Amino acid sequence: MHPEVKKFLEEKNKNIEVQGKNEELVSLGLKFLADTASLKYSYNFTWMGRPIIALPQDMLAMQEIIWETKPDLIIETGVAHGGSIVYYASLLELIGGDGLVLGIDIDIRKYNRDLIESHPMMNRIKLLEGSSVSEDIFSQVEEIASKKKRIMVCLDSNHTHDHVLQELELYAKLTSVDCYCVVFDTVVEDMPKDWDWGIRNWGVGNNPKTAVRDFLSRNDDFIVDKMIDSKLLISVAPDGYLKRIS
């Protein structure tokens, strides 16, 4: 590595560590999320024409992870409008090879399915409709995964503790060593305790972050990549970027 490149990377990593320890900055990031959530800020963005329903910061982190680890299968639970699976598929298209994005949702609405299936990136996408934790769906996922070498997992469906924990117990083991299992919306645990979640059946004490904590307390194959949290400051997935280490 050229000395100037090494110097740049060292300075960058030092800055990331410093800002991650700055409690005021971390608090400001959370305040931004709380203040914009009622306006559905994350609904404002698209990727190649499809609503992505995600924070730009998290999507940039996902790009860095995908480029670094180069998975040939990305499994995502939760499809919605399909923006994220189109995004991941486009990154795999740039990387080359036979990479595939597998999108799973209990209800893929016809108007979304039609738009996803007619998208130019559909050649790298496969959709499965059904519960991500059902025996039938998971057996299909295992069959597809058995033909791939490097696998990344993204969990972004039902955000209750029990459901996410079930997903972690099933899908985390499919994650390749040095790849990531990313659990979205862990930030629910950090939101104000009186936050109105409407008809949602999750909230403080019952959410993806509590499931992650439960899972990690009994599994030492994964660590939380805190450098990503420190880098982003604004993220829906604090403590949710899980890297498989063994």
- 11-31 pLDDT, tens digit each: 999 999 999 999 999 999 999
**Span 3-244: which CATH code?**
3.40.50.150
Contacts 24+ apart (CB under 8 A), 193-196: 195/34
The pLDDT score that the predictor gives to residue 194 is 75
Q: What does the domain layout of the chain look like in residue ranges?
A: 3-244
The pLDDT score that the predictor gives to residue 201 is 85
Tell me phi and psi for residue 119, to 5 degrees: -80, 145
The pLDDT score that the predictor gives to residue 202 is 85
Strands 46-47 and 73-77, how do they pair? unpaired
CB 71 within 8 A of CB 179: yes
In the predicted model, is pLDDT for residue 193 greater than 90?
Answer: no
Q: Is 106 helix (H, G, I), strand (E, B) or coil?
A: coil
Percentage of residues in the chain having pLDDT higher than 70: 99
In the predicted model, is pLDDT for residue 198 greater than 90?
Answer: no
Which single residue is written with the structure tokens 């399909």? 82
CA–CA distance, 123 with 142 (Å, rounded to integer): 20
CA–CA distance, 37 with 44 (Å, rounded to integer): 11
| This prediction's pTM | 0.96
Burial (Cβ within 10 Å: 0-12, 13-18, ≥19) of residue 52: buried
CB 222 within 8 A of CB 183: no
Q: Token pair for residue 94?
A: 């740039």
Percentage of residues in the chain having pLDDT higher than 90: 93
CB 241 within 8 A of CB 182: yes
Q: Token pair for residue 47?
A: 């990727």
The pLDDT score that the predictor gives to residue 219 is 95
Which single residue is written with the structure tokens 């982003």? 232
For the stretch 40-64, pLDDT in tens is 999 999 999 999 999 999 999 999 9
CB atoms < 10 A from the CB of 131, how many?
18
